[in-house]
């Protein structure tokens, strides 16, 4: 009898971004993604898990844009799950404090991003 666990399926593109569960703080009550401000690619508005998000003046969040001038240049949270906002705004989860694996974040983690997100440790 084999009692070893075996993997029954693989979820591609949904790799864990957390490097540790030791210190994690999620956003309470979620955040609202502003679908109107998300750029469409091939007719879809998909934001990948781990994307840094910034709060706009209207209180909604958008993906981080280092060249932005509307608040999108100041990220404060990381998206917890991939989300499709093609059909409108969505309320989603995010991490305010966490230690994450840099290679699994969907954008390049540079010194500017590290400085803007002091509560996120990029390992």
The tens digit of pLDDT for each residue in 50-65 reads: 999 999 999 999 999 9
Q: What is the pLDDT of residue 32?
A: 96
Given a cut of 50, the residues of the chain with pLDDT beneath it are: 9
Q: What is the pLDDT of residue 15?
A: 82
**In angstroms, rounded to a whole number, what is the distance separating the alpha carbons of residues 45 and 52?**
16
Q: What is the pLDDT of residue 1?
A: 55
Q: Which helix (H) or strand (E) holds 120?
A: strand 120-122
113: DSSP letter: H
Q: What is the pLDDT of residue 13?
A: 61
Question: Domains (ranges, CATH) in the chain?
Answer: 18-122 (2.40.300.10)
- The pTM (predicted TM-score) of the whole model is 0.85
Q: How many other C-beta atoms can be found within 10 angstroms of the C-beta atom of residue 93?
A: 16
């Amino acid at each position: 009898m084999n009692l070893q666990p075996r993997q029954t399926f693989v979820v591609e593109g949904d790799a864990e971004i957390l490097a540790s569960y030791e210190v994690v703080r999620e956003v309470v009550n979620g955040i609202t993604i502003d679908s109107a401000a998300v750029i469409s690619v091939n007719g879809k508005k998909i934001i990948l898990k781990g994307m840094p998000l910034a709060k706009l003046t209207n209180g909604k969040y958008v993906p981080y844009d280092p060249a932005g001038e509307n608040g999108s240049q100041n990220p404060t949270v990381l998206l917890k799950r991939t989300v499709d906002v093609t059909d409108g705004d969505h309320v989603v989860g995010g991490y305010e404090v966490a230690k994450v694996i840099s290679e699994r974040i969907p954008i390049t983690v540079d010194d500017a991003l590290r400085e803007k997100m002091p509560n996120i440790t990029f390992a």
